[in-house]
Structure 1
Amino acid sequence: MYNNVKPIVLDVTKFEPSKETIRSPFTIEDVNATERARQEAANEVEAQYVLKPEIGQNRVDLIRSIYDSAIELQDELMELNIQSQVENTEEELDVKSPTLKEKVDWLKEKLTENVIVDLSNSTLETLVNSNKLDLTIAKDAAVTAVNNVMSKEILNSEVESARDRVEEELRFVSIPENLKIATIELARYAITQNYFYDPEKTEEMRQQAEENVDPVYILQGQIIVEEGQLVNQKIWEQLELIGLVNTDFPYMPFIGLIIFVSALIGVIYSYFNENRRNETTHKELIIFSVILVTSIVIMKGISSIPIKQYDISFVFPAALCAMLMKILLNDRLGIIGTIVLATSAAVIFNGQSSGSFHLTIAIYIIFSGLAGIAFLSNQNQRSKIFQAGLFVSAINILVIIAMLFIPNTKFSVSQYLIYGSMGIFSGISSAVLTIGFLPFFEAGFGILSTMKLIELSNPNHPLLKKILTEAPGTYHHSVMVANLADSACEAIGANGLLARVACYYHDIGKTRRPNFFIENQMNAGNPHDHLPPETSRDIIIAHAKDGAEILKKHHMPKEIIDVAMQHHGTSLLKYFYHKAKESGKEVREEDFRYPGPKPQTKETAIISIADSVEAAVRSMKNPDKEKIETLVKNIIKDKLKDDQFSESNLTLKELKIIEQTLCETLHGIFHNRIEYPKIKEKGENNARN
C-alpha cells in the first residue's frame, strides 16, 4: 500500500516564482494560522473582575456593631446613674460620675483592637457622649449609606471616590454636628474594595475565546500558489504543512501505514487467539489469509488501471471475500474479513479520490459483503451463490446511487448508467469468482464441501455397505438417527447435511463386534449376560475409538471422525455401572464413562441427543405422544446436568428448539395406527342373521 500513501514532492523554490499552479490535494488545518487567530482572540479579552457582596455586608455589620456598642454603653451608664442616685439618697454620699476617659475605655473594651486603632479618639468620645436617640439615628443613616455605596462595584483605585460618595449621603443627616462628623468618619472607614481581579475567570474567558475561533483550513482543491506567483514565507509554510516540498524521506506516511496494517493484523490475531481450539484454527487462519490476500491483490490490480473519467473502484468484486469466508469458514469471520478488506480498500483506492482515504469505496465494500453474507446465511446449495451475486448487485446499485446523490453530484444519465453497470458487474463477478475458487479451496485445504457430503451419503459407499452387511441393526439405527439429527440441525441453523452424513458413519466401530450391541442381536442371546460388567464396559466404550480408527484408515473427513469419537462425550454407562455396584465391588463412576472428548460442535451435540433418543424410543413399548415428549425432555435434561454440552456452543434456546423438533419428528415416525374392526366371514354373518 505504500505507493498509495507516499506524498508527491513538487519542484518549488522558496522566494521564487512558482512554475505551476498548486492546489491542496486534501483538506488540512493550517495550524500556524489557527494559532495566530486564537492568540489574537485571547488578547482581545479584557481582564475579568468579581464582586464579593459578603465584604459589603461585613462592613455594614461592623458599623452597626460599633453603634450598637455605643448604645449599649449608654444603657449601662444610665443604669449605673440610677443605681448611684438610689445609693446616694440612702447614705447621703457624694458619688462621682465616670469620666470621659473611663467611658471611652469602656467602649474600647467592647470593640476589637483593629477598630480601635483605625478610629480617632475624638470619634469614640463623640459616640460615648451622644444620647441614645441620636446614636440610633446616626446608626440608621450610616448603615444605609454604607450599604448603598458597598452594593456597587468598588475597585482599589475607586475606594476614595466611594468614601466621598458615602460622605455626601451623610452630610445632610439631622444629628448634632459632632456626631455627624464622627458618623462620616465611621462610614468612610467602612468603605473598602469589594471588586477584585479574577485570574481564573479571565483565563477561562480567554480559553473560551480561543475555542470559539474556528480552525483555519487549507481546503481540498484550494489554490495555494498560482503559476508565476512568488512563493513567500506563508505559502512555503502551507506547502510544507501539506508535504509537497519535503525533500526528506516521508517517514510519517510509512509509520502511519505500519500502524494501520498492524492494527488490521491485530484484529485478526486477537480473534483467532481468543477462539483458538486446535489445529482447525490454524487451517481457518490460513484460509482466511489466502482469501484476504487474494482479494487485496485483485483490488491492487484494479487500482492500477489508468482510468481518470470514472471511479473504477466500483467494479471490484466487493462480496467475493465475504462470500468465500461465509461458505468456507463462518459468518463472523466473513464480517471481520469484510471490515479488514474495506479499510484496506480505503487506502488502495485513494487515487480515485482527492483525499488520503477513499471512504466511499469502504462503505460500498461493507454493504456489498454484508449483503452476500446475509443472503447465504441459510443457504447451503452451490446454486444459491449466483442468486446471491444478483442480490449483491441490487444492493450495490442502491449504495452507488446513495453515494452519488448524497453529495449532490451532478452526473449525466449515461454516467449514472455506467456506475450502475459497475455495481452489477461487481456483484456477478463476486458470485462467479466464488464458484470458481471454491473447488480449489475445498481440494487444497481438505474442506468438507456440500458436494463431498453428498458423495459420502451414497449407499454404495464401501463403509456404508460394510455397516449394512455386518451390522444391519446398526445401519437402521444410524439412518433413524440421521433423520432426527438432520431435522434438529436445520431447525437451529446448523449444518443438517453434515449431521446426516456423520450419523451414517458414527457407529461404524460396532462392525468389529456387532453381536455385542442389542440392535444387532436379532432375538439371539445377549453375550453381556455372561460377561463381567468391566469387560462389557470395555467392549461398548471401544466402539467409539474403533470407529474413529476405521474412518481414519479410509481417509474420511476429520468432521466425520470427530463425530464418531465425540458422540458419546464423557457420558456414563449406567447399566454396567450399576451392575458392577450390585456385584459388591468397589467401583468408580469415572471408570464407566466414555473417554470423550465432549461434543465440540453443535452438530455433534445434536447427534449425541438423537442417538440416545432413538435408542430409548425404540426400546419403548407402545410409544405415544406423551411418553415420547417426556423421554426426549429427560434425555436432554440428563445430558445437560452431566455437562455434555459445555463445549459445543449450544444455547438453552436452541436446546428447546431441538427438543420440539425431535418430538415432532418422532411423532411422525411412531404415530398411532387406526385399529380396524375384524371382518367376519359371510357364513357366520348369515347364520347370525
Structure 2
Amino acid sequence: MNRIQKFFTQIKGLLVHRFFQVLLFIILGLFAYGLMFSNVKPERVQVELFKPAEQTIRSTKTVEDTYKTEQEKEEISKQVADVYSLKKEYAKNKVDLISSIFDSAIEVNKETDTDEDHKEDDEKEPVKTDAQKVSILKEKLTDEVNKNIDESVFLALVQADEDELKIAKDSTITAVNNVMSSRIAASDVENAKKKVVEELGYMSISGDMKKASTSLARTAIIQNVFFDKDKTEEQRRKAVESVEPIRILQGQIIVEENQLVDRDVYRQLELAGFLNTESTIYPYIGLLLFIFLTFAAFYYYFYYSVSKKDNKYNQLLIFSLVFILSMATMKTVSILADLKNSNLEYIFPGAMAAMLIKILLNDKLAVAMIILLGSYGTIIFNGDTPGNLDFSMGLYIIFGGLTAIIILSRPNFKSKVLVAGLLLALINMAFVFSLIFIMDSHYTRMEYLYYAAAAMGSGVGSAVLTMGLLPFFEAGFGILSSIKLIELANPNHPLLRRILIEAPGTYHHSVMVANLAESACEAIGSNGLLARVGSYYHDIGKTKRPHFFIENQMNEENPHDRLQPETSRDIIIAHAVDGGEMLRSHKFPKEIVDIAEQHHGTTLLKFFYHKAKKQDESTPEADYRYPGPRAVMKEVAVIGIADSVEAAVRSMKHPTPEKIEELVSFIIQDRISDGQFDECDITMRELSIVKHSLCESLNGIFHTRIEYPESDKLGQKVKE
C-alpha cells in the first residue's frame, strides 16, 4: 500500500468516531465560509459630492427610491384631468319649469275668460286688464321664478290665446331639452343660449310670443357640467396607486468610473447603503446560516447512509476532497475574472466535480455536489459586489454538471470521458447563448466568440481534469473505476495473455463465464463490467498447473486418475489461493482479488470427496471444501453460479432449454442450501432474475443445431 493510501486509511480510521466526522464538516464549512467571506462583506466606498467616482459602483441590494417614486406619483397625479359630471336632472327641471309657466299662463287665460262669460250684464265687472292677468300669473309662480323673468314675457303670455301658447310651449320645451341634454360648461353657457335661440327662430307664432319663448328658453339654459371633486380625487388616487415603486435594482450600476457624483447619484448611493458608516453583521450571519444548512443536510445523509462503513468513509473523504478542489478552482477563476474585468467565469470546469463523483461514487452524490457548487457559485461569482447573487452562473454550473452526469450514464461513456467532455462543451456553448439571448444582451462578434470559447473550454477542461485526477483518487482510496476495469479487460494484458497461452481452455471458459456473469449482473442492477473483468481473472491460479484442469486436457490422460484424492483436492483448491496471490503480486484491485478467492466460497469438491469416501468412510467433509471466504459482493455470487453452470452445461451431451433450466435451478438451490450466500446481500428475487438471465444466455449459446444429412446422401441429392 502506497503512502497516499496509508494516509487516507489513517484518516478513515479517525472518521469512525462521530467527533471527527463533525469536525470534518466544520472544517469544510469554515473553508467555504473563508472563500465566500469577501463576496458578502459589506462594501464601503469613498465618494464625494460633485467629484468623479473612482470606481464603478453597483447596488448590492434592491431598494426603493422613495424620492423618485413620490416625484413620479406627483407627475402622474398632475396629468389626471379634472372630472366634470353631467347633471342630467337640470334639463328635466328646466323643462318642467318652462312647462309650468306656460300651463299657468293657459290657466290664467281660461279663468278670466270663463268668469266674464258667466256674469249677467248688470253684475258684470269691468274686464280684467293685462296687468291684472300678469299679477294673477305671478301669483301662481314663485318669487324666484318671477324675479328671473322679464315683465314683457308675462305680458306676452297673458295676451296670447291658448293655441298659440301650446305651440310656443311645445317648441320651447323641445328646444330647451335638446340643448340641455348636451354638456354645458360654464364657458359654454352663452353659446348654448345662442343655440336655443336659433332653434326657436323657426317657430310660426307672433313676434311677441316668439320673443317671450326665446327669453324663457334663454333663462332655462344654464351650466349642467360641474367639477366633481370626489371623482377627480378617486381618479388621481387610482393613477397614483398604479405607479410602480421606482427601485434601485440589485446589481444595477449606480455610478460608473469617472462619472460625476451629482446630488441624485449621491442620494442613490446613500439609499443603497454605501455611505452608511455603521457596520452590519447580517451578511455574515446569512452566509453562516446558509453553509450550516447545506452541510447539516450532507452530514445527515452520510451519518444515516446505508453504505457499509468502510465505503461510507471513502465516500465522505472523496466528497470532501472534490468539494475543496472545486471550490478552490471556483474562487481562483472568480478572482481572475474580476482582475481582467471579463466574463471569464464561464470557463470554470464545474462539471469536473460531477464527473469525478459520478465515476468514483454514485449518481445521487454527484447531483448533490453539483447543486451545492451551483448554489455557492451564485455567491462567489457575484463580481465582488456584496449582496449580489449571480443566478445565471449558478444555473450554468448546475446545468453543466447535470448534463455531464446524464452523458456519463450512457453505456461505455465512462471509458470515454474526453468524448463526454467534447459533447458537454457543445451543450455548454448552447446554454450560454440561451442565457445571453434570454437576457437580450447585445455583444460584438468577438465577444460572442469569447463566450463560445469559454463554454467549450469549460467542457473540455472538466474532462481533462477528471482524467488527470482519477488516478490520484484510485490510488489514494483503492477505488476500482470503470476506466481501470476497461484497462484490465484489455486482451493484451500480460496476465490475460498468460492464461491464453498457458491455459487456453481456461481462457475460453473465463470468457464464457464473463458473458454469462455480465448479463446476469446487469439484470439485477449490479456492476456488469466488474463481473466481466473479474471473470477473466477468476481462474488465473490454474496457470500454475494448467493440465490438472479438465478444460486444458486436449486428448491427454487425466493426471488425477493416478493421484490420491487428497492430492487432487489440494491441487484443485490451490487455484483459488494461488490466483489471489498472483493478483496481489501484480497489484490488482481488491475487488478482482476477492473474486478470484471467493468465487468457489466454501463449496464441496464432490467428485474427490466421494472418491475419498470410497477409500475411507470416515473422511470428513470439511477436508474437501474450499477455504473460502464465501461471497460478499453480489458480483462474486453471480460469477460463482455462472462458473459452475458453464462447466456443467458444457459437459452435457445434448443440452435442451428444459435441461439447462433444470441444471441452473439445481446449482442455485444447492448453493443456497449450502449457505454460500449467507454473507452476501443478494435476495431470492435477484437470484430468480439471475437464473432467468443465465438460461437465456445459455440457450443462445447452446441452441439446437440443424442435423445435416450424411455426405453421400447429400451428394445424391445434389445430383438429383
* TM-score normalised by length of structure 1: 0.57
User: Match for 1:372 among 404, 407, 413?
Assistant: 404
Q: 2:558 matched to which residue of 1? A: 524
Sort the Cα spacing of 1:367 and 1:569 in 2 relative to 1 into closer, same or farther, 3 A.
Answer: farther
1:490-529 equivalences in 2 (<5 Å): 495-510=527-542, 519=551, 524=558, 526=560
Matched, 1:562 2:597: no
Sort the Cα spacing of 1:262 and 1:568 in 2 relative to 1 into closer, same or farther, 3 A.
Answer: farther
User: Match for 2:354 among 322, 340, 346?
Assistant: 322
Are the aligned partners of 1:302 and 1:316 in contact in 2 as well (CA < 8 Å)?
yes
Q: 1:300 matched to which residue of 2? A: 331
Matched, 1:9 2:39: no
- For 1:300 and 1:256, the matched residues in 2 are separated by 19
List per-residue Cα deviations over 1:281-318 (Å, max 9, x = no partner). 55554444433333222211221123687544222222
Q: 2:420 matched to which residue of 1? A: 388
Are the aligned partners of 1:17 and 1:229 in contact in 2 as well (CA < 8 Å)?
no
Matched, 1:483 2:515: yes
Are the aligned partners of 2:382 and 2:389 in contact in 1 as well (CA < 8 Å)?
yes
| Structure 2: gaps (5+ residues) | 1-34, 66-243, 256-260
Cα shift at 1:614:
0.8
Cα shift at 1:624:
1.6
Matched, 1:26 2:61: yes
Matched, 1:220 2:250: yes
Cα shift at 1:411:
3.0
List per-residue Cα deviations over 1:442-494 (Å, max 9, x = no partner). 56666556665455456665544665677665444323212323444566675
Are the aligned partners of 1:570 and 1:598 in contact in 2 as well (CA < 8 Å)?
no
- For 2:252 and 2:584, the matched residues in 1 are separated by 69
Cα shift at 1:505:
1.9
Sort the Cα spacing of 1:625 and 1:267 in 2 relative to 1 into closer, same or farther, 3 A.
Answer: same
- For 1:256 and 1:570, the matched residues in 2 are separated by 59
Cα shift at 1:550:
2.8
- For 2:623 and 2:301, the matched residues in 1 are separated by 35
- For 2:385 and 2:574, the matched residues in 1 are separated by 66
Cα shift at 1:320:
1.9
Cα shift at 1:6:
1.5
Cα shift at 1:525:
6.4
Cα shift at 1:255:
4.7
Q: Kindly provide the amino acid, as one letter, of the partner of residue 390 in structure 2.
A: H
- For 1:4 and 1:290, the matched residues in 2 are separated by 23
Are the aligned partners of 1:488 and 1:661 in contact in 2 as well (CA < 8 Å)?
yes
Sort the Cα spacing of 1:17 and 1:623 in 2 relative to 1 into closer, same or farther, 3 A.
Answer: same
Sort the Cα spacing of 1:252 and 1:634 in 2 relative to 1 into closer, same or farther, 3 A.
Answer: farther
Q: 1:550 matched to which residue of 2? A: 582
* TM-score normalised by length of structure 2: 0.55
Are the aligned partners of 2:254 and 2:265 in contact in 1 as well (CA < 8 Å)?
no
Are the aligned partners of 2:565 and 2:612 in contact in 1 as well (CA < 8 Å)?
no
Are the aligned partners of 2:39 and 2:386 in contact in 1 as well (CA < 8 Å)?
no
- For 2:558 and 2:266, the matched residues in 1 are separated by 105
Q: 1:617 matched to which residue of 2? A: 649
Sort the Cα spacing of 1:466 and 1:419 in 2 relative to 1 into closer, same or farther, 3 A.
Answer: closer
| Structure 1, 390-399 or 632-641: larger mean CA deviation | 632-641
Cα shift at 1:246:
5.5
Cα shift at 1:553:
2.6
Sort the Cα spacing of 1:218 and 1:640 in 2 relative to 1 into closer, same or farther, 3 A.
Answer: farther
1:454-493 equivalences in 2 (<5 Å): 456-457=488-489, 463-464=495-496, 467=499, 473-489=505-521
Are the aligned partners of 2:359 and 2:414 in contact in 1 as well (CA < 8 Å)?
no
- For 2:356 and 2:398, the matched residues in 1 are separated by 15
Are the aligned partners of 1:7 and 1:244 in contact in 2 as well (CA < 8 Å)?
no
Sort the Cα spacing of 1:411 and 1:455 in 2 relative to 1 into closer, same or farther, 3 A.
Answer: closer
Cα shift at 1:564:
1.3
- For 1:594 and 1:504, the matched residues in 2 are separated by 21
1:107-126 equivalences in 2 (<5 Å): none
1:39-118 equivalences in 2 (<5 Å): none
- For 2:459 and 2:492, the matched residues in 1 are separated by 40
- For 2:416 and 2:540, the matched residues in 1 are separated by 33
- For 1:215 and 1:577, the matched residues in 2 are separated by 93
- For 2:681 and 2:671, the matched residues in 1 are separated by 14
Secondary structure at the residue paired with 1:350?
Answer: coil
Q: 2:632 matched to which residue of 1? A: 599
Sort the Cα spacing of 1:611 and 1:543 in 2 relative to 1 into closer, same or farther, 3 A.
Answer: same
Sort the Cα spacing of 1:336 and 1:566 in 2 relative to 1 into closer, same or farther, 3 A.
Answer: farther
Q: 1:40 matched to which residue of 2? A: none
- For 1:383 and 1:247, the matched residues in 2 are separated by 57
Q: 2:698 matched to which residue of 1? A: 666
* Number of residue pairs aligned between Structure 1 and Structure 2: 490
Q: Kindly provide the amino acid, as one letter, of the partner of residue 675 in structure 1.
A: E
| Structure 1, 296-305 or 508-517: larger mean CA deviation | 508-517
| Structure 1, 585-594 or 412-421: larger mean CA deviation | 585-594
Q: 1:35 matched to which residue of 2? A: none
Cα shift at 1:561:
0.7
Secondary structure at the residue paired with 2:654?
Answer: coil
Q: Kindly provide the amino acid, as one letter, of the partner of residue 3 in structure 1.
A: S
Q: 1:676 matched to which residue of 2? A: 708
Larger radius of gyration: 2
Sort the Cα spacing of 1:479 and 1:425 in 2 relative to 1 into closer, same or farther, 3 A.
Answer: closer
Sort the Cα spacing of 1:391 and 1:520 in 2 relative to 1 into closer, same or farther, 3 A.
Answer: closer
Are the aligned partners of 2:539 and 2:575 in contact in 1 as well (CA < 8 Å)?
yes
Are the aligned partners of 1:220 and 1:354 in contact in 2 as well (CA < 8 Å)?
no
Q: 1:115 matched to which residue of 2? A: none
Sort the Cα spacing of 1:501 and 1:231 in 2 relative to 1 into closer, same or farther, 3 A.
Answer: closer
1:140-539 equivalences in 2 (<5 Å): 220=250, 245=276, 251-273=281-303, 274-277=305-308, 279=310, 282-304=313-335, 305-306=337-338, 311-351=343-383, 355-380=387-412, 384-404=416-436, 409-412=440-443, 414=445, 418-438=450-470, 441=473, 448=480, 453=485, 456-457=488-489, 463-464=495-496, 467=499, 473-489=505-521, 495-510=527-542, 519=551, 524=558, 526=560, 531=565
Are the aligned partners of 1:569 and 1:595 in contact in 2 as well (CA < 8 Å)?
yes
Sort the Cα spacing of 1:384 and 1:458 in 2 relative to 1 into closer, same or farther, 3 A.
Answer: closer
